[in-house]
Structure formats: C-alpha cells, structure tokens
C-alpha cells in the first residue's frame, strides 16, 4: 500500500514511476514530498534529467554547427561514401528498358 524508502529510491533511480497506476504514483509523490532523504535523492535525479534536457539542445547545436572547430568527415571519406551510395542506388533501382 505505502512505499518504503527502499522502494521509492528504486523507482526514482529507474525513473519508471511515470508508469505507476495513478494512486500508486500519488502515494510515491506524497512520500517524496515529506521524506527528507527521498526528497533529496529525487532532487539529484531531477537535476540530471534537467541537465540531459539542456544537453539535448546543446548537442543539436553542435551537430548542426558549421564551425570548422568541430569534427567533420574529410572530403575523401565523403567521396568514398558518395561512390558507395551511387553504386548501391544503381543496383537498387536498375533503369527499366536501358
């Protein structure tokens, strides 16, 4: 019925509490709200969620960037890649009638 700290920390760590049935979820939130230990642990896990969300945005900027300071495929690698794609395309879709 009610959660022990052990069960709470397990749910928080695995971040699977969103899938709990509504009443169970409510009891968990209630426990976290009033238990100082679980509350603190929860804040730490949430900080990482927050960090990951912000990092996702940063990563997208990094992937999209035109800056030469970031790693990119060199021209010869790109040419090889283009050649292999062309070859694959030629075998994938042979021109009908020719």
Partner 1 sequence: MAEQDPHETFETHLWVDKYGDYLYRYALMRVRDPQVAEDTVQETFLAALKNLHQFDGRVDVKYWLRGILRNKTVDYIRKSVRRQELQNEQVQEIVGQILFKTSGIPNKRPKPWAFDPDEAFAQEEFWEAFKACLEGLSDQMRTAFYMKMIDEVETEEICKELDISDNYLWVMLHRARAQLKDCLELKWAKS
Which helix (H) or strand (E) segment holds residue 81: the answer is helix 75-92
- Looking at the Cβ atoms of 26 and 79, the one nearer to partner 1 is 79
* Contact between residue 32 and residue 42 where contact means Cβ atoms under 8 Å apart: yes
Spell out where the chain has E strands: none
Q: Determine the 3-state secondary structure of 22 from DSSP.
A: helix
Q: Which of 11, 28, 38, 42 touches Zn ion (CB under 5 A)?
A: 38
Q: Which of 17, 20, 86, 94 touches partner 1 (CB under 8 A)?
A: 86
Q: Which does 32 bind (CB under 5 to 8 A by kind): Zn ion, partner 1, none?
A: none
How far apart CA 77 and CA 30 sit, in angstroms, is 56
Contacts of 41 (CB under 8 A, 6+ apart): 9, 12
- Looking at the Cβ atoms of 26 and 81, the one nearer to partner 1 is 81
Q: In the complex, which residues of this chain contact Zn ion (CB under 5 A)?
A: 5, 35, 38
- Which positions touch partner 1 (CB under 8 A)? 4-6, 8-10, 13-16, 36-38, 40-41, 44-45, 47-52, 54-56, 58-59, 62-64, 70-73, 77-78, 81-82, 84-86, 88-89, 92-93
């Amino acid at each position: 019925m009610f959660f022990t700290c052990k069960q709470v920390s397990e749910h928080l760590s695995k971040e699977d509490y969103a899938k709990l049935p509504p009443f169970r979820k409510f009891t968990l939130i209630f426990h976290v709200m009033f238990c100082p230990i679980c509350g603190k642990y929860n804040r730490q896990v949430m900080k990482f969620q927050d960090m990951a969300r912000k990092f996702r945005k940063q990563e997208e900027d990094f992937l999209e960037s035109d800056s030469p300071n970031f790693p990119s495929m060199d021209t010869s690698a790109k040419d090889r890649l283009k050649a292999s794609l062309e070859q694959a395309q030629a075998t994938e879709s042979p021109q009908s009638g020719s």
